[in-house]
Chains A and B, each alone.
Chain A
Amino acid sequence: MAHDSHDSHEYVPEIAVDRNGKEHVVQGWQGDFDGAKLGFWLFMLTEVLMFGAMFMTLTYYFTLHHADFIHASSELDRTLGGINTVVLLFSALTMGLGLLKMRSGDVKGAKLMIWATILLALVFLGVKALEWTNDYNEGIFLGLETMQAGGGKSFGEILFFGMYFTMTGLHGFHIIIGIGLMLWLLKRINSKKVSPEHHILHFNIALYWDLVHLIWVFVFPYFYMTGAGAIHG
């Protein structure tokens, strides 16, 4: 029992005794590594469902407007998209290495790897911005006249680009959130709140980053590659 109301939430290990006198450790909410891991996996599940609903919508319209989708897809820049895929896969590698270093006690190396991940994430966003600017100049962007009904594009193309900006936009938003999380993680490492013995935050952010790159691994072929073989013009 807390003696005053303003103490910290420190965990006092507790034992429950059964009728045979055998002792059982009581799990508290404080410092529960497995609980925090489970919670974050469940959160990842909600992300999968959210993007899953969008992929489902996309698939539905792909069957309705097959040729339009392929044609629209062929207009996307596969070089920039491909570069971004490689950048993001590398960032997943650096993130994973960072976690390994943290676990093995190399805090300095872990921080270096997190910085590398942030750098790669920024490169990804830069390339994305360049790509969107090019699209904009070609009259492909949300809300432009050319993207309305009767603006020269077919239904399928409007839908394709509409979903393209929605999904890559939402993915980009996740990248930005991820950068914020990593900066926060670095702050927590510097203040010794995250350490090799207590690295659940690092673990969960690495998990998050894996999901972000995993979503891109599906986004890339779906948007960029479906029209890769189409004859342009």
Chain B
Amino acid sequence: MSKSYFDETHCAFGHPKSTFMQWMLTIDHKRIGIMYAVVMFTFFFVAVAAALTMRFELFAPGQQFIDAHTFNQAFTLHGVVMVFLFIIPGIPAVFGNIVMPLMIGAKDVSFPRLNWFTFWLYIVGCLVALSSLFNFSIADGSLVFNFADTGWTFYAPYSLNTDTNVVTTLVAAFILGMASILTGLNFLVTIHRLRAPGMDFFKMPLFVWGIYATAWIQLLATPVVGITLVLALLEKYFGIGIFDPAKGGDPVLFQHLFWIYSHPAVYLMILPAFGIMSEIIPAFSRREIFGYRTIALSSAAIAGVGYLVWGHHLFTSGMSDIAKVMFSFLTFFVAIPTGIKFYDWIATMYKGKIVLDTPMLWALGTIITFAIGGLSGVTIAMVGSDIHLQDTYYTIAHFHYAMLGGVVFLFFAGIHYWFPLVFGKMYSEVQAKLAFYVLFIGFNFLWFPMFIAGYLGMPRRYFDYLPEFQIYHQISFWGAIIFVTGLIYMFYVLIQGMRNGKPTTPNPWNATTLEWHLPSSPPPLENHTKVPYVDFRPYEYHHGQPVVKFDENMKRID
């Protein structure tokens, strides 16, 4: 039995004997990815709990469980944790770390110690973000929390005036932003420098393309929001006057600076997810991907166009009409490269030998949910309809269909796809499929009524509502119950698989990319025994069988 990366590791410094310290100090990209996943999904459930609390409160009009102020803090907590702690680091930090170096035949990322440092920077950011949760007091026998109540967007001037703990949240967002920048930087250099000999950019797997486009966004957009948050802090405590209209500042400028980052950040979330889709579709259709170059370049196009569309968040905030029309027009453009990808995936499946294993089910489910999420985005990119729909449940439903039904679903797809690679064991296929169906049904019950409620005028972030909206909130509530049940079940299945799953071979899916050609499963510490020479395209199938085969020294034998 050969040693895997669970048995031995390289450390940032020192040679600790204890397993615990070896994990804390590890610089192995696979271990760091796993640690990210554990921390991230812990916080994911914190945010889910906050959301569920809100759903309970909204079951009926009027006050049930929490008061209005706590409700504001609950949606801020949900937004901050989901956006900054979970979905922005999300797929790059987990699968970018675990899989990307394996896919390009590297031994590790370019700066493994920086990677270790970045992980701990992320942890510090998480702790700072949640520290103010513990700053509560008890008044009249009930808990009074002091968490920020601004929403995750921290719009000025309210964020400058509120008495709650906005400062820790802003500082945390800044630290997490730095971690994100350093991750992106590390991956960019890795992809440029450490590809196996012969692997040019157009021989890279498409997930690597997704990570590459994402890394550029992380690098180029995050500093702007970082400095914006610093300016907001200085404004709050020293009154430099930038965003405060009482001193001649312009609160809309804050929105511009915020969304210059935060809109590209949306593509930062979705691009690696699309990368996962591009891996799964050919592997489970047993067919070479259709339009490799168009998928790769559309990732770059989305990243590029994504910079020019932030203004569509400000249609109701005061902008010149000409600017509104321009931003609206540019926003439509994003749909083009996205559409290209979708048609490429569907064309890949055409006449393929489709295998409906769990990862493929998740990918197919996402095609439905993300199509709804993406196309509803086009409807609110129009200035006219956006004036009506902005800050309603319609927008909420749109971005949850895109983010949860797109990014997180594909994240789950990736978890099921690379699970045997990471742990060398397999979860129960039957149970995992059942979990998918429960989640998929619950998801649609949870979010689809919100399109209707929003269209009829239900505003977002409201603690109370008119009685005619009750039916939509109640359908959503039952959807949420099904969805959370599915989530718990899915993680139960995965954890069971991790503990008592059947051992697998290194390539259980008959996939073609390099991460499936490792000598053992789980992989050894320094990945491939030998680095292969790459003179083949990433997804070559012939009659449903992988074309490229290697001997134990990673020499081609086909």
Contacts and interface: CB of A to CB of B under 8 A. Distances in A.
Interface of A: 1-2, 4-6, 9, 14, 16-19, 24-29, 32, 34-36, 38-39, 42-43, 45-47, 49-54, 57, 60-61, 64-65, 142-143, 147-149, 154-156, 158-159, 161-163, 165-166, 170
Interface stretch (B225-233, B363-371, B494-502): B225-233
30 contacts: A4-B8, A5-B10, A9-B10, A16-B532, A18-B533, A26-B197, A29-B110, A29-B190, A29-B193, A32-B110, A32-B193, A36-B111, A38-B188, A38-B192, A39-B189, A42-B185, A47-B223, A50-B224, A50-B227, A53-B224, A54-B231, A57-B253, A61-B242, A143-B239, A148-B247, A149-B241, A154-B248, A158-B240, A159-B240, A159-B249
Contact of A35 (B9, B193, B242, B253): B193
Contacts of A9: 10, 112
Interface in B146-171: none
Contacts, number: 162
Interface in B235-255: 237-242, 246-250, 253
Contacts of B529: 1
A218 to B, nearest CB: 15
User: Counting chain A CB atoms within 10 Å of each CB, which of B226, B529, B531 scores highest?
Assistant: B531
Interface in B520-538: 524-526, 529-533, 535
Given A43-B185, A46-B219, A148 B531 contact: no
A154 B247 CA distance: 8
A16 B197 contact: yes
B189 A38 contact: yes
Nearest to B193: A35
Contacts of B248: 61, 64-65, 154-156, 158-159
B52 interface: no
A154 B240 CA distance: 12
B346 to A, nearest CB: 34
B210 to A, nearest CB: 19
Given A5-B7, A16-B533, A42 B239 contact: no
A19 B556 CA distance: 7
B186 interface: yes
A27 B249 CA distance: 51
Interface string B528-557: 011111010000000000000000001110
B194 interface: yes
A52 to B, nearest CB: 8
Contact of B227 (A38, A53, A148): A53
B426 interface: no
Contact of A39 (B107, B110, B231, B525): B110
Interface in B1-25: 7-10, 15, 22
Contacts of B7: 5
B240 A39 contact: no
A72 B109 CA distance: 49
The interface size bin for chain B is 35 or more
Contacts of A39: 110-111, 185-186, 188-189
B192 A49 contact: no
A45 B219 contact: yes
A19 to B, nearest CB: 6
A160 to B, nearest CB: 9
A54 B219 contact: no
B291 interface: no
Given A16-B197, A29-B194, A46 B556 contact: no
B384 interface: no
A65 B250 CA distance: 12
Nearest to B109: A29
B555 to A, nearest CB: 7
B223 A18 contact: no
A2 B531 contact: no
A109 to B, nearest CB: 30
A72 to B, nearest CB: 12
Contacts of B253: 57, 60
Contacts of A143: 237-239
Nearest to B243: A57
Nearest to B184: A42
Contact of A54 (B192, B196, B227, B238): B227
Contact of A18 (B106, B181, B188, B198): B198
B222 A46 contact: yes
Contact of B238 (A1, A26, A162): A162
Contacts of B57: none
B347 interface: no
A159 B10 CA distance: 51
B170 to A, nearest CB: 15
A180 to B, nearest CB: 16
B66 interface: no
Contacts of B242: 57, 61, 159, 162-163
Contacts of A57: 231, 242, 253, 257
B108 interface: yes
Contacts of A52: 224
User: Counting chain A CB atoms within 10 Å of each CB, which of B110, B230, B240 scores highest?
Assistant: B240
Contact of A42 (B107, B188, B196, B224): B188
A42 B189 contact: yes
Nearest to B2: A1
B241 A159 contact: yes
Interface in B181-209: 181, 185-186, 188-190, 192-194, 196-198
Contact of A159 (B234, B246, B247): B247
A69 B240 CA distance: 14
Given A6-B15, A60-B253, A18 B535 contact: yes
A35 B257 CA distance: 31
A110 B86 CA distance: 46
B239 A148 contact: yes
Interface in B445-487: none
Question: Which 9 A-B pairs rank lowest in CB-CB distance, beginning with the nearest?
Answer: A155-B248, A162-B240, A5-B8, A24-B197, A142-B238, A18-B533, A35-B193, A6-B15, A49-B223
B240 A166 contact: yes
Contacts of B241: 149, 155, 158-159, 162
Given A19-B535, A35-B194, A158-B239, 20 more contacts: A2-B526, A5-B8, A5-B10, A5-B22, A16-B531, A16-B554, A26-B196, A29-B110, A29-B111, A29-B194, A34-B193, A42-B219, A43-B185, A46-B181, A46-B223, A50-B223, A143-B239, A149-B246, A158-B241, A166-B234
A217 B438 CA distance: 60
Contacts of A36: 111
Contact of A45 (B8, B220, B257): B220
A148 B241 CA distance: 8
B110 A158 contact: no
Contacts of B246: 149
B193 A16 contact: no
Contact of A53 (B108, B257, B525, B535): B257
B304 to A, nearest CB: 16
Nearest to A26: B531
Contacts of A64: 248, 250
